[in-house]
Amino acid sequence: MTQENLSIKSWSAEDRPREKLVLKGKVALSNAELVAILIGSGSRNESAVSLAKRILNSVDNDLNKLGKLDLSELMEFKGIGEAKAITIAASMELGRRRKGENFEKKPRIESSNQAYEYIEGKLQDLDHEEFHVIFLNRKNVVIKDECISRGGVGGTVIDVKIVLKKAIQLLARSIILVHNHPSADVQPSKNDLEITSKLAEAAKLMDVKITDHVIIGESAYFSFKDADIL
């Protein structure tokens, strides 16, 4: 029986995930060791680290994919009950929200990449479409970002009047449109092109400029501005 399958209590102190974190710091731990700490314990025939490795292998060792697993999917692994599944899911959600803390800093957005980095944490793990608008002042500093519409896997409905009303209320000089594609294909659909054109024309009448429309996929994005569509 290999060390991985032995009880963690039988390992040397420096090899146990919790003790290793205390001795060497959290950055010294592998993803599997960190997940093992969340799991807490394995079974008679499998250590928590071995179980964590099985879970990570199932998602190609991709933490973004791990964050998308729901409780029932996590509980499919032998050794993962509801309590452990909840612990893993909660930790993944905290990690996602940690990215969101950057939103409070009200950064200046002057490129598609900055817009992507600002908002992707809110959209990349969703299994449905959401349409957000980032409202900017004269210096391109974020005033506010807001979800305007939520839909299904295939799309969401956008009300031009609601978008422009909020822009006027916030005294926004420009806005960036953002929505996600759960399919991971970031190419704009016919509807994406039509709503962008419609919003751009209406915004001109209100002296509000649409500076970009960013479509977010799993690990990539598409910018209307970069593609010279806006």
Check residue 195 and give its pLDDT.
92
pLDDT band at 169 (very low <50, low <70, confident <90, very high): very high
Sequence spans of domains, the chain: 3-99, 106-223
The CATH number of 106-223, from 3.30.300.30, 3.40.50.10540, 3.40.309.10, 3.40.140.10, is 3.40.140.10
Mean pLDDT of 151-164: 77
Q: How confident is the model over 214-220, as a mean pLDDT?
A: 89
The yes-or-no verdict on residue 90 having pLDDT over 90 is: yes
| Backbone angles phi and psi of 169, in degrees to 5 | -60, -35
Task: Give mean pLDDT, residues 55-76.
Answer: 93
The pLDDT confidence band at residue 230, using thresholds 50, 70 and 90, is confident
pLDDT at 154 over 60: no
Q: pLDDT at residue 77 above 70?
A: yes
Whether pLDDT at 176 is above 80: yes
**How many C-beta neighbours within 10 Å does residue 207 have?**
9
Helices 190-205 and 160-169 pack at an angle, to 10 degrees, of 40
Over residues 137-163, the mean pLDDT reads 84
The strand pair at 130-136 and 174-180 is best described as antiparallel
The verdict on pTM exceeding 0.85 is no
What's the pLDDT band for 1 if we cut at 50, 70, 90? very low
More confident residue, 104 or 140: 140
pLDDT digits (tens, 9 = 90+) for 99-131: 766 555 678 999 999 999 999 888 877 888 999
- Confidence label for 155 from pLDDT (cuts 50, 70 and 90): low
Give the CB-side neighbour count of residue 135, counting CA atoms within 13 A.
Answer: 17
- Whether residue 222 contacts residue 215, with contact meaning beta carbons closer than 8 Å, is answered with yes
Q: Greater confidence, 41 or 136?
A: 136
Beta-carbon neighbour count of residue 134 at 10 Å?
Answer: 23
CA proximity to 211, closest of 155, 149, 154, 167: 167
Whether the pLDDT of residue 196 is over 60: the answer is yes
The CATH class for the domain spanning 3-99 reads mainly alpha
- Binning the chain into helix, strand and coil, the percentages to the nearest 5 are 50, 15, 35
Q: Does 6 or 185 have the greater pLDDT score?
A: 185
On the question of pLDDT at 44 being above 80, the answer is no
CA pair distance 197, 161, nearest whole angstrom: 14
Is residue 73 a contact partner of residue 82, using CB atoms and an 8 Å limit?
no
